Structure 1
Amino acid sequence: MDIQFPNGIIELEAMEFYAYHGCFREENVVGNRFIVNITLKTDMTKPMESDNINDALNYVKVYELVRTEMQKTSNLLEHVTARILKTLYQNFPQIQWARVKVSKMNPPMGGQMERVSVTLEK
């Protein structure tokens, strides 16, 4: 292959988790559904040429890291979102830019709402 696209985007979309994040006691007991979206920018030149998973950013591992962070209870979406972003950078030095969005579905806001989300980029 003679194509060079040094930067590529990997997206893990609509990962769904049941977790216990929130400031209210009930949220820590009952839990809630969360949706996580990850966008990662990385150099894809080597895996494009080699077709070898060892040369690529392993998005199975990305999913596993996100799942691990979602299992740790946080009061704030900002906190869990920042933890996910930090662990991705710690485990994948080839990340050039990342966006992490965590959404709490049907949050207890005293009215009908589909979701509330926090997005962090680095």
Structure 2
Amino acid sequence: MSHFKQTVALKEVKCFALHGYYPEEQLIGNHFVIDLETEFTALGFDDELSQTVNYEDLNTIILEEMKNTQKLLETVLKNIISKVIERYPFVENIKIGMKKLNPPMLGQISHSFVQLYYTSAK
């Protein structure tokens, strides 16, 4: 029997949020860009959303978690992963990365970047 691996992803989801370690960052905020990829064994091809990950749900999860101010970007990413797994327990792998545009540091820095990977223990 054949198994298909399927990827459902959102690329470059742009948000403004108040994440940052320093109190000033949590007051002035910054712009962020998120990439989120899910991978799983295809559940079927019946042309139904119940057979896949709905990327509209992924977008909602990202936008809701970006509203919850955190000191570390890693915490935000872990929270997003947890919500995706809760909604879609069949997901086997998740890769999520976040860019913080023009981080408030000396010099000209395009963005900082944090990435997390999740692999199910199944």
TM superposition score normalised by structure 2: 0.89
Q: Distance in 2 between matches of 1:40 and 1:54?
A: 15
Q: Distance in 2 between matches of 1:109 and 1:85?
A: 28
CA shift for structure 1 position 5? 5.2
The 5-angstrom pairing of residues 31-70 of structure 1 reads 31-46=29-44, 49-70=45-66
Q: Which amino acid aligns with 1:32?
A: N
Q: Are 1:5 and 1:45, in contact at CA under 8 Å, matched by a contact in 2?
A: no
Over the matched positions of the two proteins, sequence identity in percent amounts to 26
How big is each residue's C-alpha offset from its partner over 1:58-114, in whole Å with a ceiling of 9 and x where there is no partner?
A: 110111011111110000111111111111111111201000101110001111101
Q: Are 1:7 and 1:45, in contact at CA under 8 Å, matched by a contact in 2?
A: no
Q: Extract unaligned runs of 5+ from structure 1.
A: none
Q: Are 1:57 and 1:92, in contact at CA under 8 Å, matched by a contact in 2?
A: yes
Q: Which residue of 2 aligns with 1:84?
A: 80
Structure with the largest fraction of helix: 1
- How big is the alpha-carbon RMSD for the aligned residues of Structure 1 and Structure 2? 1.3
Q: Extract unaligned runs of 5+ from structure 2.
A: none
Q: Distance in 2 between matches of 1:56 and 1:121?
A: 20
Q: Distance in 2 between matches of 1:64 and 1:9?
A: 18
TM superposition score normalised by structure 1: 0.89
Q: Aligned residue pairs: how many?
A: 117
Q: Distance in 1 between matches of 2:9 and 2:57?
A: 13
Q: Which amino acid aligns with 2:34?
A: V
State yes or no: 1:72 paired with 2:68: yes
Over 3 Å off, 4+ runs: none
Q: Which residue of 2 aligns with 1:102?
A: 98
